[in-house]
């Protein structure tokens, strides 16, 4: 019966297609073909062309070349939509966010990547002091080890966001200025390396390669770790590994310091103390004594930590929030992406991949032996503290 129904449905659908085709052919002479709307190129934008002239003068570039590149950029409505701010009141969910990255496909890919680059990862860890697990975690979260590096032309994405950033965004002016700076860095990089800027593909924000470096990060932190005379974050896994390690070291990574410790909240903690702990967000601001005096409960090695802590909150939609005591190294991880959710996902993915290896390639861990952050219900009706 199932096959018979399938046959009837297929036959009917095929007949409908034939009828539609015949109707389309019979009316083709009387119904005009809709004109294709041409893409908007920034050669039509006086603002973009003025920027190109100014950029060329400041960077000592050929004005005709700069105008040609920016003029060839097309406005991408999809990029504008993707940059729209999230609706207010959208709940955050750490458990759901984590599940996107700590999952079998990414873990297996991470294990293959680590095993294929074991020596390079060990060298990067030795030279920069950055754990291999953190490097592996970043590359896995960013692009699933090179599988998803983006299919937007970088020139289109950057130019669209430089001159047509969504006006309803709360930081539209600052973000437009940021992307104009990134467009400038991108064109300067392409000119210095004698590469065609129209051939680069990346994310909708213009991030490039396996580590998804923005152009300014490529210029500042990307390195030639395979010593072949060029920096290639698209094809050289050694350059990718070395560049990520160099990035974290440049932002102040401290070898041997955990990224975070488990923390509980004292049930007797006052609302005022809770809000005081959350106020700095992910910026470490409290020594052990002041941290614990305000109701943060630490145990074991955390009590001997000589640096400062941040009470990092990870919301779980309608469930109680999760908390960790973030150190300066946790803050360093957030310099890659300004989000505590991102940082903890990177850390935990790297550690989960490392746990799959036959033999640990490093004795230096990123965080304490705590597979998941402690959870605790906050005091009654605290003021929520949004994570960037």
Token reading at 262: 């488990």
How many degrees, rounded to 5, is the angle at CA 260 between CA 98 and CA 325? 100
Provide φ and ψ at 11, rounded to 5°.
-65, -45
Whole-number Å distance between alpha carbons of 316 and 193: 46
Token reading at 221: 């932190």
Whole-number Å distance between alpha carbons of 346 and 19: 54
Start-to-end CA span in the chain (Å): 56
Instruction: Tell me which residue of 139, 155, 138 sits closest to 147, measured CA to CA.
Output: 139
| Three-state secondary structure of 351-377 | HHHHHHCCCCCCCCCCCCCCCCCEECC
* Cα→Cα distances 11→1, 16, 20, 46, Å: 15, 9, 14, 56
Catalytic residue among 142, 184, 191, 351, which? 142
Whole-number Å distance between alpha carbons of 3 and 373: 52
- Strands (DSSP E) contained in the chain are 152-153, 201-202, 260-262, 264-265, 296-297, 310-316, 319-326, 374-375
Is 125 assigned a catalytic role? no
Q: Just list the catalytic residues.
A: 142
């Amino acid at each position: 019966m199932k096959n018979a129904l399938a046959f009837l449905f297929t036959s009917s659908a095929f007949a409908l297609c034939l009828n539609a085709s015949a109707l389309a052919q019979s009316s083709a002479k009387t119904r005009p073909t809709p004109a294709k709307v041409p893409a908007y190129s920034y050669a039509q934008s006086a603002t973009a062309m003025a920027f190109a002239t100014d950029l060329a003068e400041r960077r000592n570039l050929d004005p005709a070349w700069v105008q040609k590149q920016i003029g060839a950029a097309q406005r991408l409505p999809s990029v504008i939509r993707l940059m729209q701010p999230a609706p207010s009141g959208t709940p955050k969910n750490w458990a759901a966010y984590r599940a996107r990255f700590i999952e079998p496909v990414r873990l297996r890919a991470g294990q293959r990547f680590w095993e294929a680059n074991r020596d390079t990862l060990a060298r990067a860890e030795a030279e920069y002091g950055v754990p291999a697990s953190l490097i592996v975690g970043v590359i896995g979260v960013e692009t699933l080890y090179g599988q998803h590096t983006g299919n937007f032309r970088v020139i289109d994405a950057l130019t669209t966001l430089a001159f047509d950033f969504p006006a309803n965004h709360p930081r539209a002016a600052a973000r437009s200025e940021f992307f104009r700076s990134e467009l400038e860095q991108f064109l300067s990089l392409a000119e210095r390396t004698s590469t065609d800027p129209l051939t680069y593909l990346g994310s909708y924000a213009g991030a490039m390669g396996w580590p998804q470096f923005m152009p300014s990060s490529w210029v500042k932190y990307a390195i030639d770790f395979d010593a072949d005379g060029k920096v290639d974050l698209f094809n050289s896994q050694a350059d990718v590994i070395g560049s990520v390690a160099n990035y974290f070291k440049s932002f102040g990574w401290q070898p041997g310091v955990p990224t975070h410790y488990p923390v509980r909240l004292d049930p007797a903690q006052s609302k005022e103390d809770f809000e005081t702990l959350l106020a700095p967000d992910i910026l470490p601001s409290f020594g052990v004594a002041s941290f614990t005096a305000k109701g943060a409960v630490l145990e074991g090695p955390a009590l001997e930590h000589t640096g400062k802590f941040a009470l990092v909150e990870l919301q779980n939609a309608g469930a109680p929030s999760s908390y960790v005591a973030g150190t300066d190294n946790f803050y360093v991880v957030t310099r890659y992406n300004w989000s505590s959710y991102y940082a903890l996902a990177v850390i935990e993915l790297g550690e989960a991949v490392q746990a799959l290896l036959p033999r640990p390639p490093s004795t230096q861990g990123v965080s304490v032996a705590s597979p998941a952050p402690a959870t605790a219900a906050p005091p009654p009706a605290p003021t929520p503290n949004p994570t960037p």
